[in-house]
Structure 1
Amino acid sequence: MIRLLISLYLVVFVSIVLINQSSELIWKSWVHQAPDELRHAQQVAKVLQGSVSDISQLPATVETLSSDDVAWLPEQMAALQQGDVITTFTEQGNALLTFRINGGDELAQLGPFLPASNALAKKYLFKLLSFAVLGLLLVLWLRPLWLDLMQLKRVTAQLAQGQLDISIQPSKFSAISNLTSQFHAMATKVASLMSDQKQLVNAVSHELRTPLARLKFALAMLAAKDPKEVQAMSQDVQEMELLIDEMLGYARLEIAAESLEYHFFDFSALVQCQIDKLQRTNSKDLHVALSPNIQLYADQHYIARVVQNLLQNACKYGKSKVHITLLVNHDEVELHVEDDGAGINPEDRNKVFAPFVRVDRSRNKASGGFGLGLAIVQKILTWHNGRCEINTSELGGAQFVMYLPSSKNPLSLEGRAIS
Structure 2
Amino acid sequence: MKAKQTAKRQLTVRFMSLFAFILFLMNLIFVGVSIAFVYDYISDRSEHIFETIENRELSEQNWSDLVDSYVIQGEEEALQVRLPHGQIYHSEDAAETFANVSEGRNLPFLEHLVFVGDDRYYYEEREIDNTEVALIIDSEAITDIVISLLTTNLLLNVIGLIVGAVLIYWMVGRWSLKLSKMSLELNQLDKTQDSLTVPEVPKEIYQVATALNTLLEKQRQAIKREKQFVSDASHELKTPIAAIRGHVHLIQRRSEKHPEVVPQSLAFIDKESKRIELLSEQLLTLGRAENEANLEEIDFSALVTQEIEELQMTTDRKIVLKVEPGIFFKAAKSDLQQVVQNLLENALKYAPTGEIEVSLQKNEEIQLQVADQGDGIADEEKEKIFERLYRVDPSRSSDINGSGIGLSIVKTLVTKYEGKIQVKDNTPKGTIFAITFPKK
Q: TM-score, length-normalised on structure 2?
A: 0.46
Q: TM-score, length-normalised on structure 1?
A: 0.48
